Amino acid sequence: MNHKDNSILFWDQFFKDSKPITISEKDFEVKTPLDQHLKIIGDMCEHVLDVGCGHGTCLMTSKFLGEKIVKGVGFDASEHATTFANETARLSKIKGLTFHCSDESYFESIEDESYDGVICSNFLDVIHSELSEKIVLEIKRILKPNGYFLLKLNFYLNEPLIRKFKMIEIEQDTYQMNGVIRSYNLSTETWINKFNPLKVLSIDEYQRAEHLSKDRIILFKK
Cβ proximity of 156 and 187 under 8 Å = yes
Q: What are the structural domains, with CATH classification, of the chain?
A: 3-14+31-156+187-221 (3.40.50.150)
pLDDT (average), residues 192-214:
94
Over range 94-115, report the average pLDDT. Answer: 97
pLDDT score recorded for residue 55: 95
pLDDT at 1: 59
Identify whether the C-beta of residue 104 lies closer than 8 Å to the C-beta of residue 33.
Answer: no
CA-closest candidate to residue 49, choices 141, 128, 126: 141
Least confident range from 56-60, 144-148, 185-189, 209-213: namely 209-213
Question: What's the whole-number mean pLDDT along residues 170-189?
Answer: 94
| Percent share of the chain, pLDDT over 70 | 100
Q: Lowest-pLDDT range, 47-51, 81-85, 122-126, 158-162? A: 158-162
Please state, in angstroms and rounded to a whole number, the distance separating the CA atoms of residues 222 and 220.
7
Name the band, by pLDDT with cuts 50, 70 and 90, for residue 87: very high
Average pLDDT over residues 144-159: 96
pLDDT digits (tens, 9 = 90+) for 38-74: 999 999 999 999 999 999 999 999 999 999 999 999 9
pTM of the model: 0.96
pLDDT band at residue 222, thresholds of 50, 70 and 90?
very high
Within 34-142, strands assigned E span 47-51, 71-76, 97-101, 115-121
> How many Å apart are CA 72 and CA 62, to the nearest integer?
9
Q: Which residue has the higher pLDDT, 6 or 91?
A: 91
State how far Cα 178 lies from the chain centre: 22
Q: Report percent pLDDT > 90 for the chain.
A: 91
pLDDT at residue 208 tops 90: no
Q: Are 133 and 200 in contact (CB under 8 A)?
A: no
